[in-house]
């Protein structure tokens, strides 16, 4: 009598994927606060204020406006300090 292992392998694969997904969710939850450590909030405000004063951003900018600016001009305006303001968007 020949027994196929295909269903058992399929089930084991599903269980392994579920376990790995759970582990990565836990790790993401534990390490997500570390993401904010690279940002100096005071410098971020100063850099954004400088962008507004130079006309790069409107005074009523949105996060999407800041994202678009950072993605488009971060490498072009490398001589200006945009590290803290653009950290989340790069």
Write down the domain spans for the chain.
6-36, 39-89
State pTM to two decimals: 0.55
Side-chain half-sphere of 26: how many Cα atoms within 13 Å? 6
The structure tokens listed for 57 are 């951003």
Is residue 82 within 8 Å of 70, Cβ to Cβ? yes
* Predicted confidence (pLDDT) per residue in 5-43, tens digit: 888 899 999 999 999 999 999 998 888 777 666 677 888
Write down the pLDDT at residue 25: 95
* Predicted confidence (pLDDT) per residue in 47-77, tens digit: 899 889 999 899 999 989 988 988 888 888 7
Place of tokens 């968007």: 89
Is residue 62 within 8 Å of 18, Cβ to Cβ? no
Write down the pLDDT at residue 10: 92
């Amino acid at each position: 009598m020949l027994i196929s292992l295909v269903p058992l392998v399929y089930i084991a694969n599903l269980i392994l994927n579920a376990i790995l997904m759970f582990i990565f969710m836990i790790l993401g939850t534990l390490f997500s606060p570390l993401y904010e450590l690279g940002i100096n909030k005071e410098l971020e405000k100063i850099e954004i204020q400088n962008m507004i004063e130079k006309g790069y951003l409107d005074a009523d900018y949105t996060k999407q406006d800041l994202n678009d600016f950072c993605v488009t001009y971060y490498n072009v305006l490398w001589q200006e300090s945009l590290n803290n303001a653009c950290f989340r968007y790069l």
